[in-house]
Amino acid sequence: MMVPLPTKYFLVKGAGHGNTALNSFDFALLESGVGDTNLVRMSSILPPRCQEIEPIKLPGGALVPLAYATITSSNRGEIISAAVAVGIPENDDEPGVIMEYEAASELNHVEDIVVQMVKDAFEYRGRALKEIKVSGATAKVEGNTSVFAALVLWY
């Protein structure tokens, strides 16, 4: 196999404000613990038998595969939220499913939607769902504001 299959995952989240939209996004990444890495955005499949771990300090400059939701706004006073949810299958030999969602909305609304997305994905795959784990971030916009939530895959 040319690319090793990740065996671990963890959930992260962050929010940030900055002078520009990119600075606010960068600050949200730093707050989440992935700011000094190279993000490799992936589609939404959790490898079979992948084990959840506590977030770890990632090596600076590492290529980090992750599924993420993010939103940036400069509409002062607006509430923005981003969330990821991962569905863990009953059968450990089957892959899980990760979903991401972001909106100018309260966090509980965004989390409800992303959880339903996971349930739908399992249903149309005909796969039994053992549990769903969710992580989300929210902020009230002050200038340029970003929120970020991700599932990080690791080895």
In angstroms, what CA-CA distances link 100 with 12, 34, 44, 88, 140?
Answer: 13, 17, 8, 15, 20
- Helix ranges, 33-91 (H): none
- The residues facing 68 across adjacent strands are 150
- Provide the annotated active-site residues: 38, 43-44, 100
Task: Determine the Cα–Cα distance for residues 63 and 65; give it in Å rounded to an integer.
Answer: 7
- Map residue 124 onto helix, strand or coil: helix
Instruction: Report the run of H or E that residue 122 belongs to, with start and end.
Output: helix 107-125
CA 117 → CA 6, 56, 68, distances in Å?
23, 27, 14
Instruction: Please give the helix or strand (H or E) that residue 113 lies within, else none.
Output: helix 107-125
